[in-house]
Amino acid sequence: MAEKNIYGKVVAGEPYRRAGARLKEDADEVQIRLKVGSPEDYQPFIKAFHQFDKAHLVMLAEQGIIPKQDATKMLEALREMEKIGIEKVRMETRSGLHSGEAWLIPRLGEEVGGKIHPGRSSGDLMAVSARIFIREQCLKLMAASIRFRESLIKLAENNILTLMPDWTMYQHAQPSTLAHHVMSWEHPIERDFSRMKQLYERVNMSPAGAAILTGSGYPIDRKRTAELLGFDGLVENTRDAIFGADCWLGASTEAFTVPAILIQNLSRIAEELYVWYTVEFSLINLADKYCGTSSIMPQKKNPHALMWVRGAASRTYGRLVSYFFEMHDVCWGFTRQLNFDDILYALEIMTGVISTLEVNKERMRESVTNLDWACVTDLADMMVLEMGLPFRTAHQIVAIVVRHGVDAGKTQTAITTEMIDKAAVEYMGKPLGMSEEIIRKALDPWKCVERRKLIGGPAPERVREDIARASEKVKEDKEELASIETTLATAEKKLEAAIDKIISGS
């Protein structure tokens, strides 16, 4: 039998899910956690819940959907909540999305507090709050990525003339400079900023008013709510606003994929530094504050910060895959996988690591000059340019030279005219007669770098151009980010001004 008096009753979890209405029993603790989540689950979204409650009340009052005197009482109560602490109050209600209503009804009675909800549902409450949360995280990641790019640009500026080998599959490939290598890290992070901005633009569209499927028959003003919340426009189709598979309830697929791409780029940089830091490579040294040691081996200086970044990348990929599995099904789950903290922390760690990195320039130079065969591509090129051979013929002759040299325990510094002639006879039946002067010119690592003056190459003048371009792009992106933040701050002021107007009765 239904309870005799359920009017005004608020219960934990979904405050409207009281025994005696549709259901006979109050929710079990398991049901509350399954549907609403724990306070820790929804804590990151509480500010967004609060913003939406205020904007929705303003719109309801302006549209005459609820009496302005009731809107005034609720808005004043929400400002009182702000003085107490919105996180504290809303988490204590254990009502998640509906924590505003769960707090207002006991304070103002259902005859007032029960008027906050016309024209919306848990659906757009979740979608709006998720979008506000995601856009805030986007802005944080955009700012952090700019700081990381600045650290990379500075490292490159200081190492334009730092000669080093570059690798494919961690085998010596060709001579390069540390600056050129570092700028190859900067470009993807620059693209990550662009991807985050595009994510922001798609996320910053308002689903408010869509309710759970078809909106409502109330004369709501969706554009006004969007304006007060700082959204750039509307997700127009009311079903798509809530159930769009690529942006279900605001937990955008891109909100998983774009950060995953960003941390993948960070993880690859971390991996390279991880290898360079080994005793076998000894190309860099990490600042002590980013390292740990061993409880048993006193000599250890372990690159814990880099290890953490790699682990954070794995966790991010796991959340991405989990989201795809949830979204492919007909009966979608309530995903709570969104977590930007790992990516933000990874950016901060990598910025610190790069800013404090010690470069072993002599070891880098020695590696490319004396230890391997990194310049022999240029030797083949000289056979084409100076001796008129087809490239494939030159390539094969040089490959034979390298094989003979490796068998004899030599490196590229030992190559002579005689070695080349021997290889040429083996391959094409006659000596080549290449002069020692041309050989030495081909095998000078620095000249190998200087010859690569093509756009984007490692020649110093090209790298300086790239650094200048990247520095200017950082400046542009900072200005863009500041403009977005100004727009959101303006919307927040507009919301508070609208509340003031309703409360004052003007």
DSSP string across 416-437: -HHHHHHHHHHHHSS-----HH
In a domain, 452, yes or no: no
pLDDT (mean) for 138-161? 98
Q: Which residues pair with 166 in a beta bridge?
A: 174
CATH number at residue 28: 1.10.275.10
Q: What does the pLDDT read at residue 70?
A: 98
Q: Please, what is the end-to-end C-alpha distance for the chain in angstroms?
A: 48
In a domain, 497, yes or no: no
**Shared domain check, 3 and 110:** yes
What are φ and ψ of residue 164, in 5° steps?
Answer: -155, 160
**Shared domain check, 431 and 310:** no
What is the distance between the alpha carbons of residues 116 and 66, in angstroms, rounded to a whole number? 8
The mean predicted confidence, pLDDT, of the chain is 94
pLDDT (mean) for 361-382? 92
Q: How confident is the model at residue 215 (pLDDT cuts 50, 70, 90)?
A: very high
pLDDT (mean) for 156-178? 96
**Shared domain check, 360 and 390:** no
What is the distance between the alpha carbons of residues 4 and 26, in angstroms, rounded to a whole number? 15
CATH number at residue 242: 1.20.200.10
What are φ and ψ of residue 325, in 5° steps?
Answer: -65, -40
When mean pLDDT is compared across 224-238, 314-328, 490-504, the lowest value belongs to: 314-328
The answer to whether 235 and 207 are in contact (CB under 8 A) is yes
Q: How confident is the model at residue 1 (pLDDT cuts 50, 70, 90)?
A: very low
Please state whether beta strands 284-285 and 358-359 pair in parallel, antiparallel, or not at all (unpaired).
antiparallel
Q: How confident is the model at residue 333 (pLDDT cuts 50, 70, 90)?
A: low
In a domain, 98, yes or no: yes
What is the distance between the alpha carbons of residues 44 and 29, in angstroms, rounded to a whole number? 22
pLDDT (mean) for 247-274? 91
**Shared domain check, 88 and 20:** yes
Q: What does the pLDDT read at residue 194?
A: 98
Q: How confident is the model at residue 78 (pLDDT cuts 50, 70, 90)?
A: very high
What is the distance between the alpha carbons of residues 19 and 26, in angstroms, rounded to a whole number? 5
Number of independent structural domains in the chain: 3
Q: What does the pLDDT read at residue 258?
A: 96
CATH number at residue 427: 1.10.40
**Shared domain check, 432 and 359:** no
What is the distance between the alpha carbons of residues 134 and 251, in angstroms, rounded to a whole number? 8
**Shared domain check, 407 and 268:** no
pLDDT (mean) for 409-429? 96
- Residue 196, Cβ density class (10 Å: 0-12 exposed, 13-18 middle, ≥19 buried): buried
Q: What does the pLDDT read at residue 326?
A: 79
The domain containing residue 113 runs over which residues? 1-118
In a domain, 451, yes or no: no
Q: How confident is the model at residue 5 (pLDDT cuts 50, 70, 90)?
A: confident
Q: What does the pLDDT read at residue 339?
A: 85
Please state whether beta strands 163-168 and 171-177 pair in parallel, antiparallel, or not at all (unpaired).
antiparallel
pLDDT at 2 over 50: no
pLDDT (mean) for 179-197? 98
What is the distance between the alpha carbons of residues 338 and 429, in angstroms, rounded to a whole number? 66
Q: How confident is the model at residue 331 (pLDDT cuts 50, 70, 90)?
A: low
**Shared domain check, 350 and 262:** yes
What is the distance between the alpha carbons of residues 150 and 144, in angstroms, rounded to a whole number? 10
The answer to whether 116 and 67 are in contact (CB under 8 A) is no
**Shared domain check, 311 and 163:** yes
- pLDDT one-digit tens code per residue, 438-473: 999 999 999 999 999 999 999 999 999 999 999 999
User: Which residues are CB-neighbours of 345 under 8 A, at least 6 positions away?
Assistant: 312
pLDDT at 247 over 90: no
**Shared domain check, 217 and 340:** yes
* DSSP tag of 36: T
Q: At what angle do helices 460-504 and 46-62 cross, to 10 degrees?
A: 50
